[in-house]
Structure 1
Amino acid sequence: MKKKYQRVIIPTLSILLTSCGGGGGGGSTPNSQDYSYGSNSEGGDNSAVSLTSNLSYSSLDNYPSSLPLHSFNTVSSPISSDIYNINPSLKIFSINKDMEYINDEKLVKNIGLIDTEFYLSDTFKDRSGKLRLIEHEQSAELQPNFLSHGTMVVGVLNRYNKTADFYAYNAYHNKNREFRVIATDYDRAHKEGVRIFNNSFGSSAFDYEYTFPVKANIAKYAKEDSIFIWSAGNEGKWHGTPQSLAPKDDDNLRNGWISAAEADYSQGYANTNRRKIYTNNSASNYIGESAKTWGLAAQGTYRLVLKHQGKDEYSYVYTTGTSFAAPRISAAAANVWTNFPWMDNHLVVVTLLSTADKPATFLKGQDGVCETSNLQGCGIPTTAPDAYFGWGLLNERRALKGPALFDKRLLTNKDAKTTDRANYFEKTQGVSGSNSNKDLLVVNFNFRNYKDKNKLTWSNDIKGDAGILKQGTGVLYLNGKNSYSGKTIVDGGILAIGHSLTSSDVIITKNGNLLAEFDTEKHKISSRVEFGNDKQSSLYKVKNEGTLSVYGLGLKINGNYEGDDKSNIVIDIDKSNLEVTGTLKFGNNSKIVADINKLGVNGIPKTETQKRKIITAESITNHEKVTYVKSDNINGYIDISGFYVVDGKDINVEYKRNLTTYVLKEAKYTPKSAMNTAENIDRVFNTLSNNQSHPLAPQAARLFKVDPTRLSVVIDSLSGELYASSQSAVVNQNLVANKLLSERMMSVNNGTKGGFWVDGIYVNSNIKQNGYASAKMKMTGSQAGIDSKVSDKLSLGIALNQSFGNADFNREAGKSKTKSLGAFVYGSYDFDKAYLSTMVGFNHARSNVNRVIFDKYTTSKFRSNIYNIYVELGKNIKFNKVIINPFIANSHTHIHRGNFKENTIFGIDAKSKKYSMNSFITGMRSEIQFDKLTLNSNLSHAYTPKRNNFGFEAKFTGFDDIIYINGVEQDKHITWLGFGASYSFFEEFSLQMGYNLSIRNGKKDNDVFNLGASYRF
């Protein structure tokens, strides 16, 4: 159906007369005293999520033993042999498998609004067809349409936010359209989870800055957990409405309060330093001198396209006024809060205000996306607020990357100030942020196990005169070029720095962990993190009472480092370096924790001892009080010989890679298959240790990070032995078919007629050998054939068979399914004193393999062709109704297994392979007849001179090194014992059943059940 568009013109005057409240939406209501509330409620659900267990660290205290430190004056001094006594590992950076954490990564922040009538436009539906506009008890007497003020506000919200639901409460309560705000509507919305409230209304602005008392419930929500965005009004005043100015009287409201003005975007960015003019007598109010620290400007003039309810028709709607600048900011608030679900209301407000653009500026190329002057939100970042537009113009793109300013003027009662006391800071919730000397933005949240690291990352280049106090067990990443001058205090969890802190002194308390690791993904280069700057290096200091973690290429401190008692430096000994341009002073009982992170990024360590300088300084003091330990990330693969100090300026480490075979021996896990796999892995690691740029090295190095308790499981998953051992299943299927067919040949031999016959087969088999994964194989199949007595002495026949076998191996080896189809030609010639029987067969088998490699599920297929020749010489000795049949035989089997490849790292990539087996068999069969019933038995023993383990050469997928795969070997000796019966219902037709078992090494190996029928003619 062709879409129909209707043009709806809304004159500016009609907007100004909208009874949404004076300054708020562009219209004037009656005087300010007519702004009224209904009943008030102090209620509201503000439950907190309890985190019972957090990020888990070892205490690092009372560590039982350590690597000794050796202090030398020259690099060439020898190292004592006692340093090889390596201690148990130290646990760092680990997450308890059973820990609880707040699971809010997908949390969406919804928006509440109190406004006039709401038309339920189909435009407000999400992709699934669900209406995002949830209106509450809208009077049936009202007839909302596209021109309704509330509808247009939702139109702006819907345009700029695609995730939130809009909880709408109509301030028109009857057909008289008397505008009345009921305070309990905020309570109702709050109880439904709404934390962002758009208020596109308000009393007319006075000629001077004037405020009204804020209702208790609104004040409570703003101070604690919600954000209220207020339109500044449209009277052309130099300040906003009384509602937007409310924090002037109660500074703590700034935690969740924003005043929204409208800038003039009609000429692009050029005129955005001017307020929007509507008529000769109306324009956007400015924010005002008192409100500048919680003010923001945005566009409010839009052309909206709204779809008619239940129709494929559309209308254009034009909006202008601060009523529509407010929902633009509300939509941005929801987007930012959804992007950072762990933030409180204050941090979201700080983020929106601190990331604003300076009006009338344009920074071409900002973020790599602002390429033309037609794009908004690309201005120069704000540095200070003014009375016109507060902090400036909304820049949502920047806000979605976190705050861009740590500014004292943005701080509130939720924040803290630095002190000279032992704990370095002071938090006083009751003290207002304004004029309180607060200089630390408090970021306090508990651990989140987010998959999307960006939700925990502030990536703007943060400036300003304040600092940050990180508390709680959560991990926060600051990945910009940070130049804020306030202190950085880490009092809980992890604060990760991904580029630089050029002006902020660092204090790490005993509960804190500061991680320095350069963010190469964001900055597109590899470098070190840098603290301080060259100009003031003598004054700069990092004070550590907790843990400083150094990863990537390392950390340069342009200044001094001071460690307190029991402080820790965790460092990647394989890649990182800590450089201190001044003095590095260790505290008593300090620890240096050797760790290796992302092993393989720069190659795999060699098995030869390596030396690395991990710490360097102008001077290192108190180093004799340091204890050296290794983290639990370093399992038995890394052998640290020792640490030593050189000339009082450097700390070096010596380490090497142990062979996988050595690691398994130390773990007391040495089955043949695992040791063979270990040798295969070491071949790859030895090659990678000479190649620093192999793309798969980091993935291969995951083996070094495996928990020691799971190392055996992972090694077994890499064995590939299933491909060798499963050939036993193929041989077994062929062996059973041969045995049953040889017994059929005896029946033809002793008869006088040929005929048609069919057999159903069920087999239970064991594939087992010490040192290898074992399996229980189940096989079902059937055989059918036709044979004939060509003469008194010669019998010939042909048979077809099919079988399905499943083998489920233990030790993580995997599962295989094999389907086999075969054809056989057989015959027997009876000499006077003996007979000679021969059988020639061909089988085609298709195998599917399923297994887990490391933690990746993989499947593969391969085909096998089996060629078989069986020759038997025997004699039938008859005693009345008893026949004794001694025989000797030779069976030769040739297998051609096709190629296959598993498409995952450390999968098996193998070419085709041929195997041959030759067995000698001796045995005896017997048969006794009772009228229609015949009983039979058999006993045989097979000897295979050459044991075959079906091994083959292959490669690990992604690597060129030749590896060797072995599996369960064939036994040289196998004994068969069987019993059966046949019953003839009449001369031509009989039923047969039988049971055979095989014994290898004194244990039952196969159970074979068959049930068949024959018809002689």
Structure 2
Amino acid sequence: MKIDNNKQPGKTRSLFLLKTLNHAVLCAVATLGTAQAAPYVEGGRAGDPNSWRSAEFNAEWGLGAINAQQAYAAGYTGKGVKLGIFDQPVYAAHPEFSGTNKVVTLVTSGIREYTDPYIPVKAGDPFRYDGSPTVGSDGKLGSHGTHVGGIAAGSRDGSPMHGVAFDAQIISADNGDPGPEDGIILGNDGAVYKAGWDALIASGARIINNSWGIGITDRFDQGGRDPAFPHFTVQDAQLQFDQIQPLLGTRPGGAYEGAIAAARSGIVTIFAAGNDYNLNNPDAIAGLAYFVPDIAPNWLTVAALQVNPDTSSPDPYTISTFSSRCGYTASFCVSAPGTRVYSAVIGGTGADDLTVGYGNKSGTSMAAPHVAGSVAVLMERFPYMTGAQVASVLRTTATDMGTPGVDSLYGWGMINLGKAIDGPSMLVTEQDIPVELRVDGAYGSGQFVADLPGVGAIVDAGKPTQRVCSGLQCGLDVWRNDIAGHGGLTKEGIGTLVLTGDNTYSGPTLVNEGRLAINGSLASAVTVNDGGVVGGNGRIASLIANQGGNVAPGNSIGTLQVAGDVTFQPGSAYAVEVSPTASDLIIAGGKATVDGATVALSLENSPTLLAASGVNNLLGRQLDILQAAGGIEGRFSEVLPNYAFLGGNLAYSASGVQLTVARNAASFSSLGLTPNQRSVASAAEQLGAGNALYETLLLSSSTAVAQQAFQQLSGEIHPAVGTLLINHSRYLRDAVGDRLRQDALYDANTPTDADSNLWVKALGAWGKSDGGHDNANSNSSIGGLLIGGDGLISEGTRLGFVTGYSDSSLSMGDGTHSSAEVDSYHLGAYLGHEIDALRLSVGGAYSWHRIDVKRELQWAEVSGREKTKRDARTGQVFTEAAYRLDLQPMVLEPFANLAYVHLDSDSFHEKGDSAALHGGDDRRDALLSTLGVRASHSLALSRTQQLQLSGSLGWQHNLSNTRSEQDLAFAGSTDTFAVQSVSMDRNAAVIGARAGLAVARDVRVNLDYNGVLGARDKSHGVGLTLDWQF
């Protein structure tokens, strides 16, 4: 292959231009670097193909001709795919290739094998190519690779044009050979080419475009146009290959050895057919797969098309006048736009006068990158497919041109991306290729292996093309085309493949792993093997389920029709999904043979029934699951699995099998783990058939799911809120107690005292309750502000009042998904009296509470939300006696206190669905006694300032009933059930610490900690108090 810029009529002289027309116009783009363009805003929209037909799109007519806009609208642009260009270098600095790492240039070097008569190099000379533009034999910088790269993958950014796979990455390798194509086999320098091939293979490129060739000799010039003259035939190509074959495995044969190695490694290897007019066949490099047939699945030869000048013709496109025919390469040849294609170019004679721009070029060189870009788009569309499979999709979805079917002029026809994104249109064997165009050994096994490995799986592990299968299609894909052919389909991988077309392919369909859903029709016999599942609502020819194979009609509940026989082998399973109104069904036109297979009963994953006003009962319904016009032979061995509360029985008739869903012996409450679960389960079962909650629980798929439901349904948070309010009542009386214990508070003669005082306390606390085995854990918190004022009413006696606001929260754990918020308002009074070392105090308070409870139901497929608001009140009285012992330097104070708290919470009705609860008033009393001792000590910080430190330790004993229990009922029911939350602790340790400091003569700041540590409930509080004397 050589390049010659002389345009001799009828003669192919261009390696890269491959018949570039002289009117290639450089659009001056020197100004591109001087003007600041506005940031590009993509106008294309998902699902709207026409929105992608921008001026940039329309500048390159080939994009619309191959229906690229449909691929873009579906979200496929070649993103993440490495596309190799083996050509003159793609000029990475051209604005068409803007973007980070848009073009990766491979550097190659070595020692030449060939003395080139067209450029000043000879065998033995060193070579090194690094992407720098080089001057060709015409004295101008080579622009061919840049033009090809723009067609394949130029950026879509508002520039004058864009390529087919505009989001693909270009991997550019320089073949160092400006031409011309003169038919000399050794003219493709083996060392230079092999270095390029090796670098491209190692780069991870999945596609390599080759817009170059060997060329044919002068004697075929006229033959390309005139049938009266000799033209290049398959026999002439064979003579070329006969010269190539001895070179394979040697350094001089590197150009050909590298191409074979690329295709054998799984890279889609694309070659331009040549520009020798359409009576000539491609040369031996473009048709190499004919002579080395094992590489044919990964090989594409490309003829060029032009707009049909005959406007009266129904065919909008025809073969370009210059293009070689597909000829003997037809079974792996496609056609693509190649005349007057607009793309990026460079100009000049060297680095000093290099210019960038855009221009039109013609040739199969321009057709080939349309195919390369299309393959890149399809590799994004089908991330799980091999290169050979993507090439097959592109071939079989091409728009037929010329003689129906594969023909020697157009091959498979004009590529059609809009159709190709919907999957293959044929599963090919040699029987699908005309006899005169068949290539022995070129079509593989005839089975198309669709391996959907799952999202995140590694594909091509250990190869340069290793990648993560990240597209959603790796787990679920839909092929929408009608699939013909004599080949078959094998489903592998854990993902699901859905076929929606009218599929007439005649080879076998094997489901070895994952799921195959037929939602259209299938003329193929289907066999499901171990690990495979077949389903869908379509029609198939026949069905065999082998050991470990599963048949699951529908896409939820549905009917699978079988034209012929159905066979269930031992160890296979018929997965029957049922609902209260329907079930899966197989309808066979032939005989059904059942040899000990199992029926795997499953319940439809339907939306939650909780909100339904009326629900059909599943029990006792007889559902048809198998009908066979040719009769039923044999029996299923059993019905599995047994659901939490359901089982199934089978009945047989001459031509059918019926399934009856029945209640098993397990009561709802028998599966409860805790008293609460058993209590709520028993109440739910009493709701009876037709109740939405009852029917929802009846469909529980397992014991664990039923227990999860009972846990969430119990409403344990309602009694827990009452306990919370009783426990949180202590923060007000603790604040009052701290106030009444301050030094010199009762001495009217103290110089720093006054008749009255104002104090403010900010409080915060958090706690945790351990529910153990029977109850749910919970976390609580409180924050608030208390304001008090007091004064001496007589010597040693102080009277005060307190008010404030607090916000409490409660969050239940252990899968209850429930929470509560409480807004509280407080008002109280207190009295303190000191007689020498003895201090007596008494107080009372009343609090108003607004409670907001939410319960989120989330188990299996069920979801619901219940909520209510209600009011509550707490009243409390408290008293304490303490005696002060002055044991310098420490003061000890034994104390005893007693508190009585009364809770009165209103009845409530939750809003929500059938799982909503209602309950009556919650009235409770608590009587708490505490015995303990306090210690305090003063530290002099200065002559006028002291830090007061104190601590306390006590034992709290609950003298009342500690149970936290409430009777609840479900919506529409009067049957109550008792629910308990974590009980109050009978005994608990009470600890406290306090630091106080006078920051001014009349202002004092106190920081305190207090905690209550019981066996079940542990809470910790901190407070900041500001005392102001006036």
Does structure 1 retain, via aligned residues, the 8 Å contact 2:297–2:443? no
In the alignment, does 2:492 pair up with 1:464? no
Distance 1:262 1:175 in 2: 20
Match of 2:278 among 209, 216, 237: 237
SS at match of 2:150: helix
Kindly state the Cα deviation for residue 307 of structure 1 after the two structures are TM-superposed.
11
Give the counterpart letter for 1:672 in structure 2. N
Q: How does 1:774-785 map to 2 (within 5 A)?
A: 774-775=777-778, 777=780, 785=788
Does structure 1 retain, via aligned residues, the 8 Å contact 2:89–2:172? no
Match of 1:736 among 731, 734, 754: 731
Distance 1:827 1:723 in 2: 32
Partner of 1:351: 393
Match of 2:318 among 275, 288, 298: 275
Distance 1:252 1:317 in 2: 38
Match of 1:166 among 165, 170, 188: 170
Match of 1:628 among 634, 638, 641: 638
SS at match of 1:342: coil
In the alignment, does 2:421 pair up with 1:400? yes
Match of 2:334 among 296, 301, 311: 296
Partner of 1:203: 214
Q: How does 1:403-442 map to 2 (within 5 A)?
A: 403-409=424-430, 434=440, 440-442=446-448
Partner of 2:539: 530
Match of 1:655 among 661, 674, 691: 661
Match of 2:601 among 594, 603, 606: 594
The more displaced of 672-681 and 314-323 is 672-681
Does structure 2 retain, via aligned residues, the 8 Å contact 1:800–1:823? yes
Kindly state the Cα deviation for residue 609 of structure 1 after the two structures are TM-superposed.
2.1
Alignment CA distance shift 1:244-1:966 (3 Å):
farther
SS at match of 2:401: coil
Alignment CA distance shift 1:885-1:170 (3 Å):
closer
Alignment CA distance shift 1:821-1:335 (3 Å):
same
Distance 1:701 1:690 in 2: 5
Give the counterpart letter for 2:262 in structure 1. Y
Kindly state the Cα deviation for residue 308 of structure 1 after the two structures are TM-superposed.
10
The more displaced of 810-819 and 443-452 is 810-819
Give the counterpart letter for 1:247 in structure 2. A
Structure 1: stretches of 5+ with no match in the other structure: 1-10, 29-104, 361-381, 413-431, 519-528, 533-539, 692-699
Give the counterpart letter for 2:165 in structure 1. N
Does structure 1 retain, via aligned residues, the 8 Å contact 2:486–2:505? yes
Kindly state the Cα deviation for residue 326 of structure 1 after the two structures are TM-superposed.
0.8
Distance 2:335 2:781 in 1: 74
Match of 2:411 among 383, 390, 399: 390
Does structure 1 retain, via aligned residues, the 8 Å contact 2:548–2:571? yes
Give the counterpart letter for 2:266 in structure 1. D
Give the counterpart letter for 2:486 in structure 1. A
In the alignment, does 2:211 pair up with 1:192? no
Give the counterpart letter for 1:217 in structure 2. G
Does structure 2 retain, via aligned residues, the 8 Å contact 1:115–1:200? yes
Kindly state the Cα deviation for residue 150 of structure 1 after the two structures are TM-superposed.
1.1
Structure 2: stretches of 5+ with no match in the other structure: 23-76, 108-128, 154-162, 182-186, 221-230, 245-255, 348-354, 457-470, 749-754, 939-947
Match of 1:142 among 117, 128, 134: 134
Distance 2:932 2:317 in 1: 111
Partner of 1:329: 371
Alignment CA distance shift 1:283-1:951 (3 Å):
farther
Kindly state the Cα deviation for residue 744 of structure 1 after the two structures are TM-superposed.
4.0
Distance 2:982 2:597 in 1: 59
Distance 1:690 1:860 in 2: 17
Q: Residues 367-413 of structure 1: CA distance to partner in whole angstroms, max 9, x if unpaired?
A: xxxxxxxxxxxxxxx9621111111111112111211012323889x
Does structure 1 retain, via aligned residues, the 8 Å contact 2:79–2:168? no
Give the counterpart letter for 2:585 in structure 1. N
SS at match of 2:390: helix
SS at match of 2:307: coil
Q: How many equivalent residue pairs?
A: 838
SS at match of 1:323: helix
In the alignment, does 2:568 pair up with 1:560? no
Does structure 1 retain, via aligned residues, the 8 Å contact 2:858–2:864? yes
The more displaced of 246-255 and 847-856 is 847-856
Q: Residues 43-72 of structure 1: CA distance to partner in whole angstroms, max 9, x if unpaired?
A: xxxxxxxxxxxxxxxxxxxxxxxxxxxxxx
Kindly state the Cα deviation for residue 597 of structure 1 after the two structures are TM-superposed.
5.1
Does structure 2 retain, via aligned residues, the 8 Å contact 1:923–1:938? no
Q: Residues 221-269 of structure 1: CA distance to partner in whole angstroms, max 9, x if unpaired?
A: 3245121111122221324421222233232231111111122335699
Kindly state the Cα deviation for residue 964 of structure 1 after the two structures are TM-superposed.
9.6
Kindly state the Cα deviation for residue 333 of structure 1 after the two structures are TM-superposed.
0.9
Does structure 1 retain, via aligned residues, the 8 Å contact 2:559–2:585? yes
Alignment CA distance shift 1:496-1:514 (3 Å):
same
- Give me the TM-score of the superposition, normalised by structure 2: 0.66
Partner of 1:580: 588
In the alignment, does 2:487 pair up with 1:516? no
Does structure 2 retain, via aligned residues, the 8 Å contact 1:788–1:797? yes
The more displaced of 856-865 and 437-446 is 856-865
Give the counterpart letter for 1:530 in structure 2. R
Does structure 2 retain, via aligned residues, the 8 Å contact 1:199–1:230? yes
Give the counterpart letter for 1:767 in structure 2. S
SS at match of 2:360: strand
In the alignment, does 2:260 pair up with 1:219? yes
- Give me the TM-score of the superposition, normalised by structure 1: 0.67
Alignment CA distance shift 1:808-1:283 (3 Å):
same
SS at match of 1:252: helix
Does structure 1 retain, via aligned residues, the 8 Å contact 2:296–2:442? no
In the alignment, does 2:317 pair up with 1:287? no
Kindly state the Cα deviation for residue 348 of structure 1 after the two structures are TM-superposed.
1.6
Alignment CA distance shift 1:106-1:820 (3 Å):
farther
Give the counterpart letter for 2:373 in structure 1. A
Give the counterpart letter for 1:232 in structure 2. A
Q: CA RMSD in A?
A: 5.7
Give the counterpart letter for 1:613 in structure 2. D
Give the counterpart letter for 2:640 in structure 1. K
In the alignment, does 2:779 pair up with 1:773? no
Partner of 1:114: 86
Match of 1:839 among 845, 851, 864: 845
The more displaced of 847-856 and 614-623 is 847-856
Alignment CA distance shift 1:487-1:591 (3 Å):
farther
Kindly state the Cα deviation for residue 828 of structure 1 after the two structures are TM-superposed.
3.3
Alignment CA distance shift 1:563-1:865 (3 Å):
closer
Give the counterpart letter for 2:385 in structure 1. M
Kindly state the Cα deviation for residue 718 of structure 1 after the two structures are TM-superposed.
6.6
Alignment CA distance shift 1:120-1:24 (3 Å):
same
In the alignment, does 2:691 pair up with 1:672? no
In the alignment, does 2:273 pair up with 1:263? no
Kindly state the Cα deviation for residue 615 of structure 1 after the two structures are TM-superposed.
1.0
Does structure 1 retain, via aligned residues, the 8 Å contact 2:475–2:496? no
Give the counterpart letter for 1:447 in structure 2. P
Kindly state the Cα deviation for residue 557 of structure 1 after the two structures are TM-superposed.
1.5
Kindly state the Cα deviation for residue 161 of structure 1 after the two structures are TM-superposed.
0.6
Distance 1:663 1:690 in 2: 10
Give the counterpart letter for 1:583 in structure 2. K
Match of 1:788 among 785, 788, 791: 791
Q: Residues 724-776 of structure 1: CA distance to partner in whole angstroms, max 9, x if unpaired?
A: 63564454333332344256458799665643556686756443556320235
Kindly state the Cα deviation for residue 644 of structure 1 after the two structures are TM-superposed.
2.1
Distance 2:204 2:686 in 1: 56
Alignment CA distance shift 1:269-1:122 (3 Å):
farther
Kindly state the Cα deviation for residue 468 of structure 1 after the two structures are TM-superposed.
0.9
The more displaced of 193-202 and 768-777 is 768-777
